[in-house]
Chains A and B, each alone.
Chain A
Amino acid sequence: DAGITQSPRHKVTETGTPVTLRCHQTENHRYMYWYRQDPGHGLRLIHYSYGVKDTDKGEVSDGYSVSRSKTEDFLLTLESATSSQTSVYFCATGPPEANVYEQYFGPGTRLTVT
């Protein structure tokens, strides 16, 4: 995860407040992804991006929005945080080669919504 950073790494916030998580990559990868990881559920895809300004929903997108204005940055926003969004959030990127879908993960952000 050397080329992928996430900020903040830890955050505690109150229900109803907006939260933005940032993912920054230096790998020049085309694809970027946001996952959440919860006990008993493994990793679930929230949103992903296949290019600047090109994004799509994943399995658990309700309550989340994303933006990608530059290749290197992918933002995840919780418009109004709820306790069910307490989780560990991982950003991942994918290389530009066609049909090669290995993903490279950031270190994660632990979000607690009280």
Chain B
Amino acid sequence: SQQGEEDPQALSIQEGENATMNCSYKTSINNLQWYRQNSGRGLVHLILIRSNEREKHSGRLRVTLDTSKKSSSLLITASRAADTASYFCATDRGSTLGRLYFGRGTQLTVWP
């Protein structure tokens, strides 16, 4: 079963706008990660937020984590056409064995 559930499933915006994607999960976690996948390529790690962190930034990316609501959001500011991709959240379900559980992803399309 999928641990993360991203929403929306698809998001379409114009260049320059902000894109927000959400992820919900069901179990305790040690950390939550976001990955990007361009069409026909493998996933690329974007950012990791630990369970004791509430917010993290990396360039135009901002991730928040609310462990009480078991949810996370990924904000991409000032989107570019090159940000067009699928975005996945992944959690460890509290395990320390190196396993990750991925959601089904959000397909982001940024129009020039």
Q: List the interface of chain A (C-beta within 8 A of B).
A: 1, 4, 31, 33, 35, 40-45, 48, 50, 56, 58-59, 90, 92, 94, 99, 101-108
Q: Tell me the complex Cα distance, A94–B43, Å.
A: 13
B80 at the binding interface (Cβ < 8 Å):
no
Given the complex, which residues of A lie within 8 Å of B2, measured CB to CB? 41-42
Q: Tell me the complex Cα distance, A44–B30, Å.
A: 20
The smallest C-beta distance from A47 to any residue of chain B, in angstroms, reads: 11
Q: Tell me the complex Cα distance, A102–B44, Å.
A: 10
B18-74 CB contacts (< 8 Å) to partner A: 30-31, 33, 35, 40-45, 48
Q: A99-B30, A102-B45 are in contact. Are A48 and B99 (CB under 8 A)?
A: yes
- B44–A105 CB distance below 8 A: yes
Helix, strand, loop or mixed for chain A's interface?
strand
Given the complex, which residues of B lie within 8 Å of A35, measured CB to CB? 102
Q: Tell me the complex Cα distance, A48–B43, Å.
A: 17
The smallest C-beta distance from A49 to any residue of chain B, in angstroms, reads: 10
- A105–B42 CB distance below 8 A: yes
16 contacts between A and B (CB under 8 A): A1-B44, A31-B98, A35-B102, A42-B2, A42-B105, A44-B102, A45-B99, A48-B98, A59-B1, A101-B31, A101-B98, A102-B48, A103-B100, A105-B44, A106-B42, A107-B41
- A41–B99 CB distance below 8 A: no
